[in-house]
Structure 1
Amino acid sequence: MFQKETKLSKIRIDDISISYMIRPSKLHMPQKTIIFLHGFPFNKNMWREQLLDLDETMTGIAIDIRGHGHSTRGHGFFSIDVFAKDLIKLITHLNLNNVVLCGVSMGGYIALRTYELKSDKIKGLILSDTHAFADDNQGKQKRFDSIQALLKYGKRPFSLGFIETIFSKKTLSDNPQAIEVIKSSIRRNDLASICATQLALAARTDTTAMLSSITVPTLVIKGKEDKLVNEKQINSLLEGIVDVKYVEFAASGHLPNLEEPKKFNQEINSFLRSF
């Protein structure tokens, strides 16, 4: 009988060690391999429910981005481009085929940049609560201010404020498990990596021009109460990508996979079986 369990592993790539959690397929040759990419400043543990509930014919891998969770920082100079190139090297080192990228927030930025760099390796995209725009000047300044506050006051005030921003009202009142996943992720990440990632997000490139070049099936997801991604940003994905499906999660904020995991899992499994 197929055992639904995850295994922890790590791989050395250039200057870093990447930690990842894998749920193997029951098949010798999986139909697809789904790589789950976490948001800022989280880690792979936010995807545990998705790995456990993934279609048994597919392999699921959730990675810790450089400097997050149990992955090492390396040189410490972060960018979305660096994160994407780390991912491409991981795909190559593990000899993965039929890869689908599933990214939430920052993970979506990484997924889009990875597709831009190496589209022949990617067979599908799941983009949750993310977009293709770069930060405007106001957005950049907010990140710079956040770095200064982190350096002055530490992670705890940042964590508390962040949680109030990312979750829906229902999650904040009824889902302490989801809240603890995020709190523990922020506690684990060191201050230098959190600040370096803020700079990476502020410096990221605009990828809206490449959306029309995406030819693989794409699922776009958004929580109805997401305060960080607006309708204009979501509509740019829906208008720019040719083969796209959109699902809104009524009871979610920025992290539907934690806030409505059962529905999220149903949607991604249905999407993955469709091609």
Structure 2
Amino acid sequence: MRDKPPLVLLPGTLCDERLWMPQIEALIGQANILVPRIDTCDDLDGQARDILKRIPWPRFNLAGLSMGGILALSMLRQAPQRVERLALLNTNPFAEAPERQAQRRGDIEQAATMGIARYAREVLAPLYPAEGASGDPVHAELVVAMAERAGLETFRRQALALRDRPDGSAGLAAITQPTLVLCGDGDRLCPPERHTYLAEHIPDADLMILEGVGHLSTLQAPAVVSQSLANWLTREPNPLPRREP
């Protein structure tokens, strides 16, 4: 019997493995799953290098949501030979817009003043439901719990890493891995047009846009996302690059 394929799941800002819990429960019989922490430094490419060092498998499947998707693109740029398949959920391939860069320091200061739990509840959680939809209070409390576990210093590092991240759009055409691009049509933070761009510029990409879903698709449409990832894991990966003798 073939060994289960390795699967690395990267969560978003102030999130942990609980963001992916529906998918972990659905795929645990199909894949060996690892959810790394993303809190070691305030440099995005440096964070990606740290994650690559901690992954025990020489080759693995890689999925990321939001900041996790941005990190996944950096990991792929740094070690394309290690990634078999790529999944990008509710994410953004571009560098931070100048106006958003200017806001990041204020975000950190606001979170420090309010406390990370209150900041997550009052500022972050309301942004995650689909536009025009009321939020699920269970999801909101999970966002708060994950933020409390992560803490203010992790938020500071992640905010600075996102602020200063490189533009990942230029390298999309070089991606050879079978790729799933998935988002919600009501995602206010990473809107559908960014995912359409990803799918148009990655040569072997499948695009899924989920109706009535916001930024946290893994929680807001757990069954559809889990099935999409299960199907993606069965796609034939590209062979290893040929090495010259």
Which residue is 1:176 aligned to? 137
Out of 126, 148, 163, the position equivalent to 1:164 is 126
**Alignment check: 8 A CA contact 1:51 1:61 kept:** no
Question: Bigger CA drift: 233-242 or 151-160?
Answer: 151-160
Which residue is 2:184 aligned to? 223
- Residue 146 of structure 1 aligns to a residue in which SS? helix
**Alignment check: 8 A CA contact 2:184 2:192 kept:** no
Which residue is 2:241 aligned to? none
Give the CA deviation at 1:140.
0.5
Give the CA deviation at 1:127.
0.2
Out of 15, 33, 37, the position equivalent to 1:42 is 15
Structure 1 runs, 4 residues or longer, greater than 3 Å off: none
Give the CA deviation at 1:161.
1.6
Cα 1:58–1:155, aligned 2, differ >3 Å: closer, same or farther?
A: closer
Distance in 2 between the 1:84 and 1:53 partners? 26
Distance in 1 between the 2:18 and 2:129 partners? 17
* 1:111 paired to 2:85: no
- Residue 251 of structure 1 aligns to a residue in which SS? coil
* 1:244 paired to 2:218: no
Alignment of 1:5-44 (within 5 A): 29-30=3-4, 32-44=5-17
Which residue is 2:242 aligned to? none
Distance in 1 between the 2:102 and 2:117 partners? 21
Give the CA deviation at 1:157.
3.8
**Alignment check: 8 A CA contact 2:42 2:156 kept:** no
* 1:86 paired to 2:50: yes
Alignment of 1:195-210 (within 5 A): 195-210=156-171
Distance in 2 between the 1:181 and 1:64 partners? 17
Please, what TM-score do these two structures have when normalized by structure 2?
0.89
Give the CA deviation at 1:195.
1.4
Which residue is 1:211 aligned to? 172
Q: What RMSD in Å do the two structures reach over aligned CA positions?
A: 1.7
- Residue 111 of structure 2 aligns to a residue in which SS? helix
Distance in 2 between the 1:28 and 1:111 partners? 26
Unaligned runs of 5+ in 1: 1-26, 67-72
Distance in 2 between the 1:38 and 1:55 partners? 17
Give a deviation string over 1:12-53, Cα, whole Å, max 9, x none: xxxxxxxxxxxxxxx6722x2110000001112211211110
How many pairs are equivalent?
A: 234
Aligned residue type for 1:89: K
Which residue is 2:240 aligned to? none
Aligned residue type for 1:83: Q
Give a deviation string over 1:69-96, Cα, whole Å, max 9, x none: xxxx5xxx421112211121112xx2x1
Cα 1:145–1:183, aligned 2, differ >3 Å: closer, same or farther?
A: same
Which residue is 1:58 aligned to? 31
Aligned residue type for 2:102: Q
Distance in 2 between the 1:38 and 1:109 partners? 10
Unaligned runs of 5+ in 2: 237-245
**Alignment check: 8 A CA contact 2:195 2:207 kept:** no
* 1:261 paired to 2:222: yes
Give the CA deviation at 1:60.
1.6
**Alignment check: 8 A CA contact 1:33 1:97 kept:** no
**Alignment check: 8 A CA contact 1:222 1:256 kept:** yes
Give the CA deviation at 1:166.
1.3
* 1:137 paired to 2:101: no
Question: Bigger CA drift: 238-247 or 180-189?
Answer: 180-189
